[in-house]
Amino acid sequence: MTVLVTGGGGFLGSAIVRLLRARGDAVRSFSRRCYPALDALGVEQVQGDLADKPAVLRACEGCDLVFHVAAKAGYWGKYDAYHKANVLGTANVLAGCRKHGATRLVYTSSPSVVFEGRDLEGIDESQPYAEKFDAHYPCTKAQAEQLVQLANTARLATVSLRPHLIWGPGDPHLVPRLIAQGRAGKLRRIGVHNKRIDTTYIDNAAEAHLLAADRLSPTSPVAGRAYFISNGEPWPVWDLADEFLACADVPPVTRRISARSARVLAWSLEKMYGLFRLKGEPPMTRFLVKVLTTARWFDLTAARRDLGYTPRVSIREGLERLRASLRSSG
């Protein structure tokens, strides 16, 4: 069996690829560039953009199983760019599955599809989609997830996974940015609360995807559903941030800014970046302020029951692995 992984060179995509190759599956990756690490694993690489439908259709040819992992992430940017990658790109992947007879699709979604800026404590998959979004990423991911669920048929079984805040050795986003800002002395605790959040160690997130694929069929209870995925260990957000910093021997965050001041600062930065068309993204956005000041942890009962999902790597063990990786890489 040949398995397609969109975004196979990314953080989560490459972890899924390694598990697939370890069990003997032939793997094809679809990404915008080639990755030497995938060549070393014997992965067939196809270059292209998710918005390029002919390229996506070619990548799907001959594949029975597709992991659609690739997406445009982040808290800032033009809506059109997010829509092309996340909504149109997902529609193209679904079209490729239908055209070439793929029978299973595992889609990587996000818990942010149900986030409206309020605490989410112990919620399950019955939580409705948000009615208002403060960023283009969750808005377009919600649209894409609904496309995936509607595409579930007797010929193409689909399932959506919602892993929350994936981290671990090799993380190119969350941990490196946190460490860089910590070293520069730019981090501030926001507000007086230290709300609990769920996170997902990278190995657990990747294994959840393979479990979902193996349980997925048109007649299984998994088909057409979405599942929250995490480590199942909610931690206070600033305690966890300090643990990440400690892995790189960076002092903990002690300086503080009020939640109101953070919201005003974020609004000002958004206006400045928009008005002057500055490159990159603002160091603070209103969406990010809400993310850092609300509780977000999830009931994993459905994933444990239907997927057989059990997080194998605890947060403590993951932190030890992260610390060793950072020290070995200098």
Lookup result for tokens 């109101």: 260
Q: How far apart are CA 97 and CA 64, in angstroms?
A: 8
pLDDT at 96: 98
Q: Would you give the distance in Å from CA 3 to the centre of its chain?
A: 20
Q: What is the pLDDT of residue 169?
A: 97
Mean pLDDT of the chain: 97
Q: Which CATH topology does 2-167+200-232+298-312 take? A: Rossmann fold (3.40.50)
pLDDT value for 329: 86
Known active-site residue 227:
no
Q: Say yes or no to pLDDT of 330 above 80.
A: no
pLDDT average, residue stretch 249-263: 96
pLDDT score, position 43? 98
Break the chain into its structural domains and give their ranges: 2-167+200-232+298-312
What's the average model confidence in pLDDT over 117-126?
Answer: 98
Confidence of residue 303 (pLDDT cuts 50, 70, 90): very high
Query: Which H helix or E strand runs over 22?
Result: helix 11-22
State the pLDDT confidence band at 34, using cuts at 50, 70 and 90.
Answer: very high
Cα 151–chain centre separation = 21
Catalytic residue among 35, 107, 137, 309: 137
Average pLDDT (207-233) is: 97
